[in-house]
Structure 1
Amino acid sequence: MKQELKVSFYLKREQSLSKTHVDSSRIYPIVGKIIIGNSIAQFGSKLSVSENLWNVKSGRAIGKSKIAVELNREINKINLSIHSHYKDILDRTGEVTALQVKNAFQGIATAQKTLLVLFEEMMQEFHSRIGIDRAPSTYFKYITAYKNLKRFLKEKYNVEDIPLSQLDLPFIEAYDFNLRVERKLKSESIVSIVALLQKAVRIALHRNLITHPPFYGYKIEKPEFQIRSLSAEEFERLMSTPIESSSQSFIRDLFVFAAFTGLSYADLKGFVWKDIIQEEDGSLWIFKSRQKTDITFNVKLLDIPIRIIEKYKGISGTGKDDPVFVVLSHRRITDALKAVAKHCGIATKISYHVARHTFASQLCLSQGVPIESVSRMMGHRNIQTTQRYARVNNEKIGSDMKQLSNRLVGKFNFPE
């Protein structure tokens, strides 16, 4: 319910001063009072006036003298500023108190920070780290999450923003329902959007802006992880199919390189010559930090990726900070990969993330490489992440059981 704003001005006299001893020429400070519903806040105006020039009923100076006119002009400016702040807070949050208006009028930061203001601060902090340890592509996720949250507040509550104290489980569940049912977003998008809201809540809890976790009791429906690895037959066909187009051949070679090294698109784009280290035994290794997580990883270059490097060596320079490959934009390279897949007769939708899956499943785990080693080579924080990439197929299971069978020969006696 909208609460009416009342602003009044009065003289601040000493309490000990009796009315019988009032000096009409004495000057008193002017004090203001803000009333909104049951909330009241007083403030100093930094103005003063003599008793004989003050009208108690109107809360203004009497007459048309220069002093009275200028004084009333300043009081009206204060009154207008208070009304402006009142309207602004009410439009943004849907409710307002006298203390909030007083703090806003006096330029005092209110302890009642709002959700979108905190979200904007989080975005600004992330944006300042782009190019250092954050990727520009991830920032677009913040923009999307912010727009969705702002739209929801306007559609559901008809406000521009809400105090963090109003965040509770019903709000979270209503937001989930809005994204999932009303807007019909995909589960992957919902997880990404809600995760950033959860991050904002963690910041609010850490800064003591809120005292209770509003997400307590909420469980997001995460989509089932989809295996996106090429099969062994598809990968072999991709490598062996002749391609006349030099540009498509280059795109195919980059995909194969990523499949043999586990590099993501972002890491491949930032792959420079100084990332290649030669060990004492002559072997070549990639020593690099993942752009997404800044976790250091290393992977040995096998014969095929070395041949691909040699094939395109020198096109973009060979200085230590020069890129090893001239990588196209993500959109162009994705479109080109579709054409390559169609040419090779592969129905699976391929991308450079599919190459990462293929590296984990077909070239490592299915060939007996321990998952701990695969996790390190892929730059994962934990093995649980690597397990999601593992494509355990019947061929791998059969191979493992055959090795187990050989190891168990003669170890047990079972009576006829």
Structure 2
Amino acid sequence: MNHEISVVKSELINVFNQLKFEKAIISAEIIKNKYLGVEVKKFSLLDTISFHNADLHRRIGTNFSKATWTKFNTLYSKVECFIKEHLKRRDVALYELGYSFATESEYFLRSKNLGHNISMKYIRMLKKILNESVRKVGYKENPLAEFKCTFKWKEREVLTWPELVRIKEKHFAMKRLELVKDYFIFSFFTGLAYVDVVKLSRQSVIEGVGGKRWLTFERQKSKIEVRLPLLSEPENIIKKYDSHPEAAPRGKVFPSISNQKMNSYLKEIAAACDISKELTFHLARHTFATTVSLSNGVPIESVSKMLGHTKISTTQIYAKVVQQKLSDDMDALPRKVSKILNKEDE
């Protein structure tokens, strides 16, 4: 019996050394299958991602946006880089994947100056692809299922009313900057994401309750129907572009502009308005949720519907920002009270 155990042990060590020589990913399951001669279908990871992205590209404009396809293409590049630089291989088979692949890829991404949350987002995207793909190729479960993606709370910056006023009252002689400013102010008062503002049609502007004008549209990201009343500021901006030659013939509210140019021009606007915060289009959406809505008593359920969130837990992130601001204000209150009392004593 001891002799037989020694023989099996020796053979397992040979399998291990062979896998190591081949620079393959090693796990107990892989060693067992190779030792027993179990044939495993070798679907490769890069091919799986590539097929997923090609299918996604065909569905741009129906189920997905071009921006989503671009993100998954970036994921392909990151995974390819990890396999070539870290594993020293051209590709890996799906059956080779496991918990260690996820942890090593996380460390690799972090070594490329990517933050914790960004690294986790890429791994979550990879898990999403595998969830869809493993069933198609006959695998029982996602090989990365054991790896749990965790995210660290990061306080989101928002604009204050004085900062908004500085942007709103600033006139730009350059048409491109004036257009971007109007885009930003519109989102500040409606909470629309960039892709939804670009695609917004004039048919989306309707007459609602009490004769007031409302926006009604389907969010590109979540496919949730959104209905929200228009405040006077965004309504005036819509009127401003009523007969714009690049918007009116297409039935759109605004002339089109790329997201890349949008955020580039916002940096110029921030400098011109003496705003030190990083001005991005999404910052306007954050500010609508916090400064405009939650801070003024709009119920979180209503804010969630106006933002087109599928889960209220997503909206609660913004509520946490408001709570943090309240906490900071209360921390400063004793000093302010003390200063007032000291003045009265004088």
Same fold judged by TM-score > 0.5?
A: yes
Identify the match of residue 195 of structure 1 among 118, 124, 146.
124
Establish whether residue 134 from structure 1 lines up as the match of residue 49 from structure 2: no
**Could you say what secondary structure the match of 2:138 adopts?**
coil
CA distance in 2, matches of 1:273, 1:309: 9
- Are the structure 2 counterparts of residues 114 and 342 from structure 1 closer, same or farther at C-alpha, using a change threshold of 3 Å? same
- Are the structure 2 counterparts of residues 236 and 116 from structure 1 closer, same or farther at C-alpha, using a change threshold of 3 Å? same
CA distance in 2, matches of 1:351, 1:337: 6
- Are the structure 2 counterparts of residues 283 and 397 from structure 1 closer, same or farther at C-alpha, using a change threshold of 3 Å? farther
1:174 offset after TM fit, Å?
1.5
CA distance in 2, matches of 1:351, 1:398: 24
Within-5 A mapping of 1:311-330: 311-315=240-244, 316=246, 318=248, 322-330=251-259
Q: Which structure shows the higher helix fraction? A: 2
Identify the match of residue 337 of structure 1 among 266, 269, 272.
266
Contact 2:23 2:89 in 1 (8 A): yes
Counterpart residue number, 2:276: 347
Write the letter of the residue equivalent to 2:187. A
**Could you say what secondary structure the match of 1:134 adopts?**
coil
Write the letter of the residue equivalent to 1:220. C
1:190 offset after TM fit, Å?
1.2
Contact 1:239 1:256 in 2 (8 A): yes
Write the letter of the residue equivalent to 1:196. M
CA distance in 1, matches of 2:304, 2:209: 24
Write the letter of the residue equivalent to 1:275. S
CA distance in 1, matches of 2:82, 2:264: 34
CA distance in 2, matches of 1:235, 1:362: 10
Write the letter of the residue equivalent to 1:249. E
CA distance in 1, matches of 2:241, 2:318: 30
Write the letter of the residue equivalent to 1:303. S
CA distance in 2, matches of 1:165, 1:258: 46
Contact 1:144 1:193 in 2 (8 A): no
CA distance in 2, matches of 1:116, 1:174: 17
Write the letter of the residue equivalent to 1:173. T
Counterpart residue number, 2:104: 174
CA distance in 1, matches of 2:156, 2:240: 31
Write the letter of the residue equivalent to 2:261. R
Contact 1:257 1:305 in 2 (8 A): yes
Structure 2: gaps spanning 5 or more residues? 1-13, 16-21, 330-346
Counterpart residue number, 1:301: 230
Counterpart residue number, 2:45: 115
Identify the match of residue 91 of structure 2 among 150, 161, 166.
161
Moved more, 148-157 or 291-300: 148-157
1:306 offset after TM fit, Å?
0.9
- Are the structure 2 counterparts of residues 232 and 119 from structure 1 closer, same or farther at C-alpha, using a change threshold of 3 Å? same
CA distance in 2, matches of 1:120, 1:398: 48
TM-score by length of 1: 0.65
**Could you say what secondary structure the match of 1:157 adopts?**
coil
1:338 offset after TM fit, Å?
1.4
1:242 offset after TM fit, Å?
4.5
Counterpart residue number, 2:313: 384
1:333 offset after TM fit, Å?
2.0
**Could you say what secondary structure the match of 1:147 adopts?**
helix
Counterpart residue number, 1:264: 193
Write the letter of the residue equivalent to 1:133. N
- Are the structure 2 counterparts of residues 387 and 394 from structure 1 closer, same or farther at C-alpha, using a change threshold of 3 Å? closer
Establish whether residue 186 from structure 1 lines up as the match of residue 115 from structure 2: yes
**Could you say what secondary structure the match of 1:313 adopts?**
coil
CA distance in 1, matches of 2:292, 2:56: 35
Identify the match of residue 157 of structure 2 among 228, 232, 249.
228
Higher relative contact order, structure no. (Cα contacts within 8 Å, ≥ 6 residues apart): 2
1:317 offset after TM fit, Å?
5.2
1:92 offset after TM fit, Å?
10
1:298 offset after TM fit, Å?
1.3
Write the letter of the residue equivalent to 1:180. R
CA distance in 1, matches of 2:247, 2:260: 24
CA distance in 1, matches of 2:46, 2:313: 33
Contact 1:92 1:160 in 2 (8 A): no
Write the letter of the residue equivalent to 2:86. K
Q: Which structure shows the higher strand fraction? A: 1
Identify the match of residue 144 of structure 2 among 208, 215, 221.
215
For residues 354-395 of structure 1, give each alpha carbon's deviation from its aligned partner in whole angstroms, at most 9, with x where no partner exists. Answer: 000011001110110001011001110111111112331577
Identify the match of residue 167 of structure 2 among 238, 242, 257.
238
For residues 136-168 of structure 1, give each alpha carbon's deviation from its aligned partner in whole angstroms, at most 9, with x where no partner exists. Answer: 111121111112212222233333222211111
For residues 253-276 of structure 1, give each alpha carbon's deviation from its aligned partner in whole angstroms, at most 9, with x where no partner exists. Answer: 221111111111111110111111
CA distance in 1, matches of 2:262, 2:141: 46
**Could you say what secondary structure the match of 1:211 adopts?**
coil
Identify the match of residue 78 of structure 2 among 134, 140, 148.
148
Structure 1: gaps spanning 5 or more residues? 1-36, 39-89, 104-109, 400-416
**Could you say what secondary structure the match of 1:377 adopts?**
helix
1:212 offset after TM fit, Å?
4.5
CA distance in 2, matches of 1:333, 1:157: 38
Write the letter of the residue equivalent to 1:302. L
1:216 offset after TM fit, Å?
4.3
CA distance in 2, matches of 1:194, 1:141: 12
CA distance in 2, matches of 1:295, 1:153: 38
TM-score by length of 2: 0.77
